[in-house]
Amino acid sequence: MQMTLNRILGAWAVFAALCVGVGTAGPAEATCSGRCAAWEAVEEYNGTNPDLPATVTEAQKFQSALASWGHSWVTDFGWADDAAWERDFKDSALGGTDSTWVDDVDLLLFAGHGNQSGIFFGVNQSDLTATWDESTLGDRDLEWLILDACNVLQDNATKWTRWGWPVFEGLHYIFSYDTITFDVDTRGEDFVKYAGRYDWRVRDAWIRATVLSENGTRAAYMRADDASSNTYEDHLWGHGSVSSDPDDPTTLYYLSWSTG
């Protein structure tokens, strides 16, 4: 009960500090309708990993950019530090709450630590790591998932069976990194700037955001298609064409690139 109360109070403090228009953010569930985004970011890892000073600021800038450049986009929730939970990413069939949170919005940013197995949290709710084998995304709503974390989309023979076939069930894209990445606070904002302000395709916006933010690393994305979809041409809702959902994908595509 105390942990839940802390999560609610922490979330309202973040939203109050931003002073931007947002969607409904409350204790019960994500309740957004329309063009909905959200974020989870971990700066303070409580000794389980080194702290990341830029992650929460990155998420706040991401939210502010959507308010400025998104066409009727709202941020439905933002969970920081101890309020960011692994169970939000876990499939509901496995005891998680993804259908209430992460998979109940269109666009989600996670900023924190990660590796090829998953993304890391600072509190155990109900685990410290959200892993690919417990995530099935897009079967409710999510189209675009940004995992701004190291090595999630590491380019090796297992990438298709990690964050690929087991995860994509309507999800269009995962944007992340092939290698390590650096802790910077501009990447989410730059993604929204190019996808929202300039109406770029989401794939191009992520490429641009990664190149602008650092050099010497390799960023990546994975996307899915079925016989009737064309996610290559995806834009954010309100900023160009959006593919139908690849609910039963037949093809996965992977691209990685040098940031400079």
Low-confidence ranges of the chain (pLDDT < 70): 1-31
Say which amino acid occupies 104: D
Q: What is the DSSP string of the chain?
A: -HHHHHHHHHHHHHHHHH-S------SS-----SEEEEEEE-S--TTSS---TTHHHHHHHHHHHHHHHSSSEEEEEEEEGGG--GGGTS-GGGT--TTTTGGGSSEEEEES-EETTEEE-SS-SS-SEEEGGG--BSSSS--EEEEESTTTT--STTGGGTTTTTTBSS--EEEEESS-----SSHHHHHHIIIIIS---HHHHHHHHHHHH-SSSEEEEEEEE-TT--GGG---TTSS--PPP-SS-SEEEEEEEE--
In sequence order, the β-bridge partners of residue 77 are 38
Q: Is residue 135 within 8 Å of 94, Cβ to Cβ? A: no
Q: Give the pLDDT confidence score for residue 27 in this predicted structure.
A: 34
- pLDDT per residue as tens digits for the range 217-247: 999 999 999 999 999 999 999 999 999 999 9
pLDDT given at position 32: 72
Query: Mean of the per-residue pLDDT values for the chain?
Result: 91
- pLDDT, residue 33, reads 74
* Domains delineated in the chain: 2-258 (3.40.50)
In this prediction, residue 104 carries a pLDDT of 96
pLDDT for 23:
33
What's the token pair of residue 55?
A: 């992650």
C-alpha distances in Å from residue 181, one per residue of 52, 185, 191, 254: 12, 12, 16, 18
Q: In the prediction, which pLDDT does 64 show?
A: 98
Q: At a CB cut-off of 8 Å and minimum separation 6, what does 17 contact?
A: 60
